[in-house]
């Protein structure tokens, strides 16, 4: 992230007269943004999984509760539909964040 900012870029910006705010805005933040967005993607996935798991255990409403209740009554179609909806939401969140990452950090993966 921030610690991985290339020193040559910092020195170049300083030599061009950049102040601390400009260094942060134009050098450090763009350099750390790919890692920030990757952390956001991972955190969102873990959060979504935890939410569904908590609903399976101790909720009175929600997708996890619906799947758990349907499982108790052997309503396999509802269980499968619930799992499909959970997977669709997770997949949509992942695709959305990947698209955001590609849009905000098109240089990600390039070293110059």
Distance CA(41)–CA(27), nearest Å, equals 23
Specify the residue for token string 């499909």: 84
Whether the per-residue pLDDT at 111 is higher than 60: the answer is: no
Distance CA(86)–CA(84), nearest Å, equals 5
Distance CA(96)–CA(81), nearest Å, equals 22
Digit-coded pLDDT (tens) for 1-55: 777 778 888 899 999 999 999 999 999 998 899 999 999 999 999 999 999 999 9
Digit-coded pLDDT (tens) for 68-102: 999 999 999 999 999 999 999 999 999 999 999 99
Cα distances (angstroms) measured from residue 17 to each of 3, 6, 13, 14, 32: 21, 17, 7, 5, 21
For residue 48, which of 104, 87, 11 has the smallest C-alpha distance?
A: 87
Q: Is residue 91 within 8 Å of 48, Cβ to Cβ?
A: no
């Amino acid at each position: 992230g921030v610690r991985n900012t290339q020193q040559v870029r910092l020195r170049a910006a300083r030599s061009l007269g950049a102040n601390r705010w400009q260094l942060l805005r134009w050098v450090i933040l763009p350099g750390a943004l790919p890692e920030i967005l990757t952390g956001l993607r991972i955190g969102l996935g873990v959060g979504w999984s935890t939410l569904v798991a908590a609903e399976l255990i101790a909720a009175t409403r929600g997708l996890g509760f619906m799947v758990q209740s349907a499982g108790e009554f052997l309503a396999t179609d509802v269980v499968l539909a619930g799992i499909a909806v959970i997977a669709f939401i997770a997949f949509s969140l992942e695709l959305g964040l990947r698209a955001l990452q590609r849009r905000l950090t098109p240089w990600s993966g390039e070293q110059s």
